[in-house]
């Protein structure tokens, strides 16, 4: 008679190993997952070469890279810090003066801090990008003609930490330096900065104009300065981006300006615009009279940790208006009101 004990023992041993493995898998809060060109935190698809997700700042995973995905544990979101609500400074003695040639205005802030703005002439341009433009990867850059009927002024540089400190009395930035762009400010914070200037009796604005963020069309028109290419010049000479920034924000004005005298329109920090983000652009691009609401505000220009193609003139993005991030800043505008 044949004995079946060894075979039975082997089957029992295999079953025990399987059960143990399942128990370990149940106890674990991690799993290994191979993902393509996506954000490892929010799962959003990202373009080739991007290091951080422009939606949540999560790490972008290259094709075939293995990452550890943590089990999702819901947590209460932290309340955003509204730096504009903190105690701030008195703007007594501030002033706005026009240059002799009428091409710029200088805002003098407390502590004799200067903020220069360049005049942007009214005109028409082709907004968006051709489908053949290198680096274009989304379908929301449809080319169309836009006419801006009135002149406006736009900051020569992104708002610096010294300028923010002079107006708001605090500095929320992660990277510190008076001549660095202010960072970690939400859209609401940037709007509060503008409103404080508007409400100050010492700053005499031209009739029919207010301080504000530029509209998306005003931003792109000023960035292009008459050009129709992806950048207004050679990207290495005009932008701080992931390929040359050494992994951090850089001082304003160190790269070449565009034809209208504006610096850092490509890269350094992403710049808030006034619009709600729409896939098909606003239908009133100069005054936004017909924009009702949305969930994200436009941000433009790309930043120091983006690949160059995300810093193109036509590249569009949107963030939650209460979002604060080390790569988010803004540029002050003096715009016509309707």
Q: What is the pLDDT of residues 143-188, one digit of tens each?
A: 999 999 999 999 999 999 999 999 999 999 999 999 999 999 999 9
Cα–chain-centroid distance for residue 282? 18
92 and 185 both lie in a single domain: yes
Give the per-residue pLDDT at 19.
44
Among 330, 333, 334, CA closest to 186: 330
Last residue of a domain, one of 71, 104, 123: 71
State the total domains in the chain. Answer: 2
Give the pLDDT band (50/70/90) at residue 63.
low
| 312, part of any domain | yes
- Sequence-distant (≥ 6) Cβ neighbours of residue 303 within 8 angstroms: 241, 267, 268, 269, 270, 311, 327, 328
54 and 136 both lie in a single domain: no
Last residue of a domain, one of 71, 99, 129: 71
Residue 121 has pLDDT above 90, yes or no: yes
Give the per-residue pLDDT at 85.
44
Looking at the chain, the whole-number percentage of residues with pLDDT higher than 70 is 75
113 and 258 both lie in a single domain: yes
pLDDT tens profile 195-208? 999 998 788 899 99
- Sequence-distant (≥ 6) Cβ neighbours of residue 245 within 8 angstroms: 267, 268, 304, 305
Torsion of CA 90, 160, 196, 93, to 10 degrees: 40
| 14, part of any domain | no
- Rounded to whole angstroms, the Cα distance separating 319 from 300 reads 10
39 and 176 both lie in a single domain: no
Give the pLDDT band (50/70/90) at residue 38.
confident
Q: By the 8 A CB rule, do 320 and 238 touch?
A: no
Give the per-residue pLDDT at 181.
98
Residue 67 has pLDDT above 50, yes or no: no
* DSSP single-letter state for residue 208: T
- Rounded to whole angstroms, the Cα distance separating 145 from 126 reads 5
Give the per-residue pLDDT at 328.
97
| 5, part of any domain | no
Q: By the 8 A CB rule, do 129 and 312 touch?
A: yes
Within 10 Å of residue 233's Cβ, how many Cβ atoms? 17
Containing structural domain, residue 53: 28-71
Give the per-residue pLDDT at 17.
53
| 246, part of any domain | yes
87 and 114 both lie in a single domain: yes
Give the pLDDT band (50/70/90) at residue 71.
very low
In terms of average pLDDT, the best of 3-17, 35-49, 192-206 is 192-206
44 and 120 both lie in a single domain: no
Q: CA distances (Å), 283 to each of 219, 244, 275, 280, in order?
A: 16, 37, 11, 9
| 324, part of any domain | yes
Range scoring the smallest mean pLDDT among 8-17, 90-99, 321-330: 8-17
| 6, part of any domain | no
**Residue 93: CATH number of its domain:** 3.90.1580.10
183 and 260 both lie in a single domain: yes
Interval 240-262 mean pLDDT:
97
Mean pLDDT score of the chain, rounded to an integer?
83
287 and 253 both lie in a single domain: yes
179 and 277 both lie in a single domain: yes
| 258, part of any domain | yes
50 and 116 both lie in a single domain: no
Residue 24 has pLDDT above 50, yes or no: no
Q: CA distances (Å), 61 to each of 43, 73, 74, 274, in order?
A: 10, 22, 23, 31
Give the per-residue pLDDT at 36.
53
167 and 286 both lie in a single domain: yes
Q: CA distances (Å), 228 to each of 6, 143, 211, 224, 316, in order?
A: 79, 11, 28, 7, 16
Give the pLDDT band (50/70/90) at residue 69.
very low
251 and 120 both lie in a single domain: yes
Last residue of a domain, one of 13, 36, 71: 71
pLDDT tens profile 283-323? 899 999 887 789 999 999 999 999 999 999 999 999 999 99
| 301, part of any domain | yes
Q: Which residue has the higher pLDDT, 291 or 214?
A: 214
């Amino acid at each position: 008679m044949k004995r079946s004990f060894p075979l039975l023992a082997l089957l029992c041993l295999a079953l025990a190993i399987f059960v143990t493995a399942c128990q370990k898998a149940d106890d674990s809060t991690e799993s290994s997952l191979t993902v393509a060109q996506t954000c490892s935190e929010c799962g959003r698809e990202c373009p080739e070469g991007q290091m951080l997700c422009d939606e949540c700042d999560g790490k972008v995973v290259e094709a075939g890279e293995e990452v550890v995905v943590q089990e999702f544990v819901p947590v209460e979101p932290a309340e955003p810090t509204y730096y504009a609500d903190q105690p701030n400074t008195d703007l007594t003695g501030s002033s706005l003066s026009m240059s002799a040639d009428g091409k710029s205005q200088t805002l003098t802030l407390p502590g004799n801090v200067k903020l220069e703005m360049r005049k942007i002439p009214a005109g028409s341009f082709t907004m968006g990008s051709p489908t053949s433009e290198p680096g274009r990867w989304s379908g929301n850059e449809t080319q169309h003609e836009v006419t801006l009927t009135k002149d406006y002024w736009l900051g020569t540089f992104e708002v610096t930490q010294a300028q923010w400190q002079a107006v708001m009395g605090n500095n929320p930035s992660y990277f510190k330096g008076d001549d660095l762009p202010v960072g970690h400010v939400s859209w609401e914070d940037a709007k509060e900065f503008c409103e404080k200037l508007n409400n100050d009796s010492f700053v005499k604005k031209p009739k029919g104009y207010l301080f504000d963020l530029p509209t998306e069309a005003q931003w792109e028109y000023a960035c292009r300065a008459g050009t129709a290419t992806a950048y207004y010049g050679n990207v290495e000479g005009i932008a701080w981006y992931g390929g040359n920034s050494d992994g951090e924000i850089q001082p304003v004005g160190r790269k070449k300006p565009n034809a209208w005298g504006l610096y850092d329109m490509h890269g350094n920090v992403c710049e808030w615009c006034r619009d709600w983000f729409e896939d098909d652009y606003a239908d009133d691009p100069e005054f936004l009279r017909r924009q009702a609401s949305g969930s994200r505000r436009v941000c433009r220009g790309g930043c120091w940790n983006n690949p160059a193609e995300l810093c193109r003139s036509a590249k569009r993005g949107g963030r939650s208006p209460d979002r604060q991030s080390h790569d988010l800043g803004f540029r002050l505008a003096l715009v016509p009101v309707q």
